[in-house]
């Protein structure tokens, strides 16, 4: 392209493309880093959801214990 050596016209699509390999490699590296960060965030969100579920289950079991649930008392009695 005129005035910019990094741009060229693709003959098959007639679109303008960047032919600077260094810029392309930098773009791929940034995209990879962003993808890794997104995956870390997703993993953290999944862990938080699992912890919330565990806490809710513990709360439910504690409520049963406090309320004197007979089946819970029977279960505990097995270990005495």
**Domain coordinates in residue numbering, the chain:** 7-77
String of DSSP letters for 54-73? HHHHHHHHHHHHHTT-HHHH
User: What span, in angstroms and rounded, lies between the C-alpha atoms of 19 and 5?
Assistant: 8
- Structure confidence at residue 70 (pLDDT): 64
Could you read off the pLDDT of 42-66 as tens digits, one per residue? 999 999 999 999 999 999 988 888 8
- Spatial separation of the C-alpha atoms in residues 74 and 62, rounded to whole Å: 15
The predicted-structure confidence for 3-15, as pLDDT tens digits, reads as follows 788 888 999 999 9
């Amino acid at each position: 392209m005129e005035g910019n050596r990094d741009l060229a016209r693709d003959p098959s699509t007639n679109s303008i493309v960047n032919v600077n390999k260094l810029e392309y490699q930098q773009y791929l590296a940034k995209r990879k880093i962003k993808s890794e960060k997104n995956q870390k965030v997703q993993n953290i969100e999944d862990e938080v959801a699992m912890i919330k579920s565990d806490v809710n289950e513990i709360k439910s079991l504690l409520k049963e214990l406090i309320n004197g649930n007979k089946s819970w008392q029977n279960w505990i009695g097995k270990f005495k």
